[in-house]
Structure 1
Amino acid sequence: MNKQWMRKEGQKWIADNIITEDQLDLIVARYPDSEDKRKVTGVLPILASILIGIGILSFIASNWGEISPIARLSLLIVFMLSFYFSGERYLKTGHHSLGTSLNLLGIITFGASIILLGQTFHLNAVDARLFVFWSLPAIFYLFRDRHKLYFFLLGLLTVGGQLYSINEFQSFSYLLCILFIIAVGGFVFLYPSTLKSWVFTIGLSIQGLMFITVNDINLLWFFIFGFALFTSGLWVEKNVFKQPFNRLGTLIGFGFAYGLYFLLTNEFSSDLELPNPYLFIPVLVVLFALSVIRKRQENLYLHAWELLIFLPFFYLVKVTDSLIVGIIYLVIMFVFSGYKLSEGYRNESRSQINFGIVLFLLVCLMGYFNLAWSFMPKSIFFLFGGVLLFILNAFLQRKKKQILRNGGPHHD
């Protein structure tokens, strides 16, 4: 319901002595404003402004060589200031979507200006400092207006700038990483939101993976990162971080178990390089101790099985056959996904059940693929595998509906 239209029409009813002013207020308060309409009308100005901005920047870039350096600088400054001025003007008049989109174009023009001017004056970049400067106006508008578009733009600039730094300069930008943690993480801490906390957690994990990759550190240290993320989810006080840290940390640990099972049960076990145990094991022990202490404080002894996925079974390849270690990982994944599924059923939580179903089906798929690929005809392999997964999924989904039928979920 459009409240502005209702108030306008209501004034006519008051003038005709149909209702009183107080009655109009009660009627308007009874009907909330339409969120869907605001979303649709808010998206259109943003899309229109982005298309216009792309067209302008494309025109400038295509005719860049024909414009003198002074004219280029003047043109870029005029466009950037015009976007910012128009954005502020529309914000003051209440057109928040259009004003925000124009300020976004101002930020984008600011970064594009730095790049184009660098090309004009033949300035050679040696690091990703460009993205640090580019992020500053996004940080300003984010904390001033608290609009989610600034948040996503800032995440894109910091993570994308890190990827650019690694690709172009083969170096990890500590400035961008710190900026990401302080600005993006700080905003989620001050203004909690589930979606934004997931964006921060995924971005932080990408930063960690890039740091390990560019510094040529053994990839199994990212396994430690996942365990540290999981442990942080147990200790962090802000509830908005608990589920993303726990879920993503679990997925990283499960992903490593998944990959190690495939490597160790095939002919790739010789490619497995283990990290230095004298450094790796102590860090792992500290994380285990912190996890167990926290679970003990919260009386979650029965949930200690979650730590099973983070045990370093891969070191067993030094004392036994790699095939045996791979089978151990398969068993661990079945047990872990089964416990996740049963925990979801016990808590009557739809999200936990769905998470457990996905993990269990992934294990079944990998086990089936690894065991049956070499001896089954390929057409039968895919046909039987598809039917098997379909039956398993149907059974698990039916079980979920039975569990949630009596008013669940209770703990989503």
Structure 2
Amino acid sequence: MSRLSWLMKETKRWVSGRIITGDQAEQIIGLYPAEHKNRLISVLLLLGAILLGTGIILFFASNWQHIPKWGKVSIVIIPLVLFHLAAHLTCESYPRLSQTLTLLGCVMFGSGIWLVAQIFHINTHFPNGMLFWLLGVLSVALILREELPLGLSALLMASWVLAEQSSSLLIMFIAMMLFGGVFYLTYTLRSSFALVVSLISVCIFVNTEIYLILADNYSFKDAGSLIPFVLLLIGSSYIYMSKHPVNELLKNFPFIYKFLGVVLTGASLFTMSLEFFAYDFIKMRQSGAGYVLFWVLYITVAFLGAYAISRRSTKIKEVLKGNYTWLAVDALVFIMLLIPFNGLTLMIILNLFMFIWALLVIISAYQTQSSLYFILGMVAFNLYVLAEYFNFFWKSLPKSLFFIAGGIVLVLSGALMERQRRKAVLAWQKEVVSSYKIVK
């Protein structure tokens, strides 16, 4: 159900309940224009583009050996030209179809890079093909100002970084410049889709480079174990970016930053509570591998948070009231970097903080009357309980009793979540009614 449909349904109920008149209902509905976007059509066109592009590639791949060179080159050039020409011809009458055809043209451009290399037996550095594809698609997004090529550009950024597998300063500089271009277009177009893909690509880029720095430059073989710690810092930075003034005027941007930040933080804390992380983190501290790098990352995130929060308020009480959940995360990172705990102590601290964080999310969501984050906090808390149940009782209980007890825990957790959700919603409704009476 669209928002306008929901509003029409609700206003009819209000009219029948004599809360408002029919004329008032029409005035309220008139404030919200009809939605011209049909998400189903967009999804179908996007899926169709993916299936069509995949089918074309597989068809020619299966008959590739029987096609002469001139035919192979034609296969690369003709569809590329036709897709972009058709996109240009349909841009005014069928804009969504035009965007889909443009995306197909971008896919064919990437396929053409490898097909031409194969036709003429060009042996070169494999990731360069990904980079050329990225540059071509990003140019299309820049010229046409369309979000689908922009989203593909962000996806190709992550793919190129993974394929390159290099921690050289040149590669990192090129990647950051390209990310700058992607984010510039994302904010110019105000594209929520491109922002989601870009933020995911940033996670992949940062984690890949830090992993390579630790593994190659410091020869730290357990570098992959520290990825959750990096994701925790990235999650905090996304939360602070949701509070940045530049995002307040952009629809959905604060929500995207905050949602991804909460998910990344919750997943990171869960992974960090496992035994392997605590002991590998201690190894990193003892070896000194990347220790300064993590301090630099932490200080960068802390300065970002201080800047974003100070733009809203400089009063200590208001800052603590609105940000205590994420200030607690920052405090955890600071303590982990500063104090040399042993492995067991650190693991206990991380397991306790995991529950504390989930409770803080629930409390914060209750205070701000956010049902989504209230549910996320409840889900995180119950998942953490379930994980600890598995950790403690998997080996000690008989398997039949283990699953019976586990089922009971899940049922009770679900019932508790639903009960708490209903209580929260009811409390919020009472607050709204009481505030309305005061105003009246």
The interval holding the TM-score normalised by the smaller chain is 0.7 to 0.9
* Aligned equivalent of 1:260: 272
Check whether the contact 2:325–2:361 (CA below 8 A) recurs between aligned residues: no
Confirm whether residue 343 of structure 1 aligns to residue 364 of structure 2: yes
Q: Mean alpha-carbon deviation: is it higher for 130-139 or for 276-285?
A: 276-285
The aligned amino acid for 1:301 is L
1:323 to 326, 332, 344: 344
Check whether the contact 1:135–1:157 (CA below 8 A) recurs between aligned residues: yes
Check whether the contact 2:239–2:262 (CA below 8 A) recurs between aligned residues: yes
Distance change in 2, residues 1:378/1:181 (3 Å): same
* Aligned equivalent of 2:201: 203
What is the rounded CA distance, in whole Å, between the counterparts of 2:32 and 2:377 in structure 1? Answer: 40
Check whether the contact 1:340–1:352 (CA below 8 A) recurs between aligned residues: yes
* Aligned equivalent of 1:70: 70
The aligned amino acid for 2:320 is Y
Matched residue of 1:125: which SS?
Answer: coil
What is the rounded CA distance, in whole Å, between the counterparts of 1:314 and 1:68 in structure 2? Answer: 63
* Aligned equivalent of 2:100: 101
The aligned amino acid for 1:284 is Y
Distance change in 2, residues 1:409/1:119 (3 Å): farther
The structural deviation recorded for 1:192 is 2.6
* Aligned equivalent of 1:306: 326
Distance change in 2, residues 1:52/1:272 (3 Å): same
Matched residue of 1:128: which SS?
Answer: helix
Q: Mean alpha-carbon deviation: is it higher for 327-336 or for 190-199?
A: 190-199
- Residues 13-40 of structure 1 deviation map (CA, whole Å, 9 limit, x = unaligned): xxxxxxxxxxxxxxxx99977757x555
The structural deviation recorded for 1:341 is 0.3
* Aligned equivalent of 2:9: none
Q: Mean alpha-carbon deviation: is it higher for 138-147 or for 72-81?
A: 138-147
* Aligned equivalent of 2:149: 150
The structural deviation recorded for 1:408 is 8.8
The aligned amino acid for 1:307 is L
What is the rounded CA distance, in whole Å, between the counterparts of 2:298 and 2:103 in structure 1? Answer: 43
Confirm whether residue 273 of structure 1 aligns to residue 289 of structure 2: no
Check whether the contact 1:46–1:97 (CA below 8 A) recurs between aligned residues: no
Check whether the contact 2:232–2:265 (CA below 8 A) recurs between aligned residues: yes
What is the rounded CA distance, in whole Å, between the counterparts of 2:127 and 2:91 in structure 1? Answer: 32
Matched residue of 1:374: which SS?
Answer: coil
Q: Mean alpha-carbon deviation: is it higher for 293-302 or for 60-69?
A: 293-302
The structural deviation recorded for 1:180 is 4.9
The structural deviation recorded for 1:263 is 1.0
* Aligned equivalent of 1:86: 86
Distance change in 2, residues 1:291/1:71 (3 Å): closer
The 5-angstrom pairing of residues 88-167 of structure 1 reads 88-92=88-92, 94-166=93-165
The aligned amino acid for 2:329 is I
What is the rounded CA distance, in whole Å, between the counterparts of 1:200 and 1:393 in structure 2? Answer: 34
What is the rounded CA distance, in whole Å, between the counterparts of 1:32 and 1:281 in structure 2? Answer: 50
Distance change in 2, residues 1:173/1:124 (3 Å): farther
* Aligned equivalent of 1:7: none
Confirm whether residue 392 of structure 1 aligns to residue 413 of structure 2: yes
The aligned amino acid for 1:396 is M
The structural deviation recorded for 1:213 is 2.3
What is the rounded CA distance, in whole Å, between the counterparts of 1:165 and 1:408 in structure 2? Answer: 56
Counting aligned pairs with the same residue, the percent is 23
In the alignment, structure 2 segments of 5+ residues that lack a partner are: 1-29, 216-222, 433-440
* Aligned equivalent of 2:388: 367
Q: Mean alpha-carbon deviation: is it higher for 297-306 or for 79-88?
A: 297-306
The structural deviation recorded for 1:371 is 1.9
The aligned amino acid for 2:247 is K
Check whether the contact 2:127–2:164 (CA below 8 A) recurs between aligned residues: yes
What is the rounded CA distance, in whole Å, between the counterparts of 1:42 and 1:259 in structure 2? Answer: 36
The structural deviation recorded for 1:336 is 1.6
Check whether the contact 1:46–1:98 (CA below 8 A) recurs between aligned residues: no
The structural deviation recorded for 1:176 is 6.6
Check whether the contact 2:295–2:337 (CA below 8 A) recurs between aligned residues: no
* Aligned equivalent of 1:238: 247
The aligned amino acid for 1:90 is T
The structural deviation recorded for 1:208 is 1.0
The structural deviation recorded for 1:88 is 1.5
* Aligned equivalent of 1:57: 57
In the alignment, structure 1 segments of 5+ residues that lack a partner are: 1-28
Check whether the contact 1:158–1:176 (CA below 8 A) recurs between aligned residues: no
- Residues 310-344 of structure 1 deviation map (CA, whole Å, 9 limit, x = unaligned): 32454688454x32322222221222211110111
Check whether the contact 1:50–1:101 (CA below 8 A) recurs between aligned residues: no
What is the rounded CA distance, in whole Å, between the counterparts of 2:178 and 2:429 in structure 1? Answer: 41
What is the rounded CA distance, in whole Å, between the counterparts of 1:315 and 1:31 in structure 2? Answer: 51
Q: Give structure 1 regions of 4+ aligned residues with deviation exceeding 6 angstroms.
A: 29-34, 169-172
- Residues 65-103 of structure 1 deviation map (CA, whole Å, 9 limit, x = unaligned): 2333334223422222122222212225x1223333322
- Residues 216-275 of structure 1 deviation map (CA, whole Å, 9 limit, x = unaligned): 35424554444444444444632355444444445444444323322169xx83685224
Distance change in 2, residues 1:199/1:106 (3 Å): closer
Confirm whether residue 297 of structure 1 aligns to residue 295 of structure 2: no
What is the rounded CA distance, in whole Å, between the counterparts of 2:203 and 2:376 in structure 1? Answer: 19
* Aligned equivalent of 1:215: 213
Distance change in 2, residues 1:39/1:182 (3 Å): same
* Aligned equivalent of 1:19: none
Distance change in 2, residues 1:146/1:393 (3 Å): farther
Q: Mean alpha-carbon deviation: is it higher for 256-265 or for 148-157?
A: 256-265
The aligned amino acid for 2:328 is L
TM-score, scaled relative to structure 1 = 0.76
* Aligned equivalent of 1:10: none
TM-score, scaled relative to structure 2 = 0.71
Distance change in 2, residues 1:395/1:224 (3 Å): closer
What is the rounded CA distance, in whole Å, between the counterparts of 1:43 and 1:225 in structure 2? Answer: 29
The structural deviation recorded for 1:181 is 1.7
2:422 to 389, 396, 401: 401
The aligned amino acid for 1:401 is R
- Structure number with bigger Rg: 1
